Structure 1
């Protein structure tokens, strides 16, 4: 397998560090708009192992579909691994199809709220732009594996595993994400891309119910306290827009699906303030300068003002937990289970030099790539993680040295 990895930020760099310890691929081209970032990711691998020759660096503009296709073809890549933010999903998705390559991403094409009733009805849903192209991918005999990070990704694998192995009938599936991470020296330092965090937290959250379909609610709705394992403890979680709610019901029979994220009052207040000031907007504003007017996206300014999450690992302490809570029936009796994956930042920094949140996101697409390379997972069209057998994935995750857990509720 030959891989084009687009994006050499925190998650992309963590992907290279995890993949370098595996033998399933022949070559990985690490491409980024900032060539120095791609070169640094490759150089770090060679420094660790001077015999490592399976990685090379390239510069690419992820929005330039034709250039990405040309890069795929020039390096004879079998798969495009998208490690950029969701703005670049569609051009990379289409570039992979044009280049006759498979495609894997960790976040899906962006949504657009309903123009009149945003907190009741869905508009353009997450992933709609990709699913409407499913026939083209199927006819081409190529696979677009979408939403294959940790959330979405591993959380969806857990949902399918619960349906296959643990329940006869499922009433509700709820993705629950929480952490007790702190960052020395910062009052506000998100552990993941603030651009993506703003997008998913301030958009209308989507909920699925089998008798109603997909609908939306106001941001931060339906608060609940969820007790997370391995010492993290109780965290208040609220509804957030996320891909699992759009993916899980396509392949898993359930009456309800939600996604709730443990944000905390302070984080929510800051997000609300950004929204009130219009600093969450992506449309450029005209800003005067000494060199004349310039166009600036307010959200990009916020992202530039905050520390790079990938560089916070040395200051970060605690654990992060991603998991899937499932409620239903087994042998006629009620059952509730929480399937989860916890990463300790001290461990991920010591073992890989990557902070916990980006490392936890990165390991799952690498596992998926290995399953595709071996043929354990295969298919054509636009498919989510739920479309595949979960046990090979969960077994390989353990083989990577990153076990998952199961707790009866």
Structure 2
């Protein structure tokens, strides 16, 4: 298997580090618009023999297709922020290779009444392409990060093995937000964080379907384990609210972040 990972930030570089000890692939190409970022990630490996760093402007679908063919990729892992999903997703379909991303295509809020009417949902174009990918014999795993992704796997496992029935699935994300030496330190892409927090949050209910609410609505104090403790969590737009009801029988799905007042007021 030949793997092409697009994006040499924290996620892409970590993939290369983890893959170094795995034997299931033949080549691993790490591509980034900043070649030095990809080169640093490869240089940090103990045994970089199967790895290669290349420069790629992933805004161009043609550039992506050309690189897929050059490295004879079997699968492309999109480790970029979701602004680049569309050209990478389309390029994989055009080139006939499998695809994985960490988060789904960006939403477009309703143009005139975003807090009362649903616009174009996260991943709309990707979900609409489902049958076309099947017809072509290709697999696209979208929203396969930690959340969305691992959170969805946990929910499905709980549904299949732990509970007879489920009323509500509540995804809660919280952490110790104080990082020594930093007045403000986001734990991942700050652009993505701001973008999803400014969009109208989504809630799904069996009786209503998908609907939007006000930003940072329905605050609740959630007690996180492992010494993290109580953190106030608020509604934020996220893919789980769209994905979980597709496969799990329940009455309500919500996603809430423990952002902290420093972030909300920043």
For the aligned pair, the TM-score class normalised by the smaller chain equals over 0.9
SS of the equivalent of 1:196 reads helix
Greater per-residue helix proportion: 1
Write the distance in 2 (CA, Å) between the matches of 1:165 and 1:54.
39
Matched with 1:274 is none
SS of the equivalent of 1:221 reads coil
Write the distance in 2 (CA, Å) between the matches of 1:216 and 1:24.
43
Match for residue 245 of structure 1 among 213, 233, 241: 241
TM-score (norm 2): 0.98
Q: How many residues align?
A: 266
- String of CA shifts for 1:278-320, please: whole Å, max 9, x gaps: xxxxxxxxxxxxxxxxxxxxxxxxxxxxxxxxxxxxxxxxxxx
Per-residue deviation, 1:129: 1.5
Matched, 1:85 2:81: yes
Write the distance in 1 (CA, Å) between the matches of 2:8 and 2:87.
17
Matched with 1:3 is 3
Write the distance in 2 (CA, Å) between the matches of 1:52 and 1:105.
24
- String of CA shifts for 1:217-265, please: whole Å, max 9, x gaps: 0110000011111111111000000011111111111111000010111
Write the distance in 2 (CA, Å) between the matches of 1:167 and 1:208.
20
Matches for 1:121-140 after TM superposition, within 5 Å: 121-140=117-136
Write the distance in 1 (CA, Å) between the matches of 2:94 and 2:65.
6
Per-residue deviation, 1:71: 0.7
Per-residue deviation, 1:146: 0.4
Matched, 1:61 2:57: yes
- String of CA shifts for 1:166-187, please: whole Å, max 9, x gaps: 1111111011111014222221
Could you list the runs of 5+ residues in structure 2 that have no partner in the other structure? none
Write the distance in 2 (CA, Å) between the matches of 1:113 and 1:177.
23
Matched, 1:98 2:94: yes
Note closer, same or farther for the CA distance 1:181–1:19 as it changes in structure 2 (3 Å cut). Answer: farther
Per-residue deviation, 1:14: 1.1
Could you list the runs of 5+ residues in structure 1 that have no partner in the other structure? 271-409
Write the distance in 1 (CA, Å) between the matches of 2:3 and 2:230.
40
Per-residue deviation, 1:131: 0.9
Matches for 1:9-408 after TM superposition, within 5 Å: 9-45=9-45, 49=46, 51-270=47-266
Per-residue deviation, 1:21: 2.0
TM-score (norm 1): 0.64
SS of the equivalent of 2:167 reads strand
SS of the equivalent of 2:174 reads strand
Q: Give the conservation status (yes or no) of the 8 Å contact 2:244–2:253.
A: yes
Per-residue deviation, 1:124: 0.4
Kindly name which structure, 1 or 2, has the bigger radius of gyration based on alpha carbons: 1
Write the distance in 1 (CA, Å) between the matches of 2:229 and 2:203.
25
Write the distance in 1 (CA, Å) between the matches of 2:139 and 2:177.
36
Write the distance in 2 (CA, Å) between the matches of 1:62 and 1:221.
35
Per-residue deviation, 1:134: 1.4
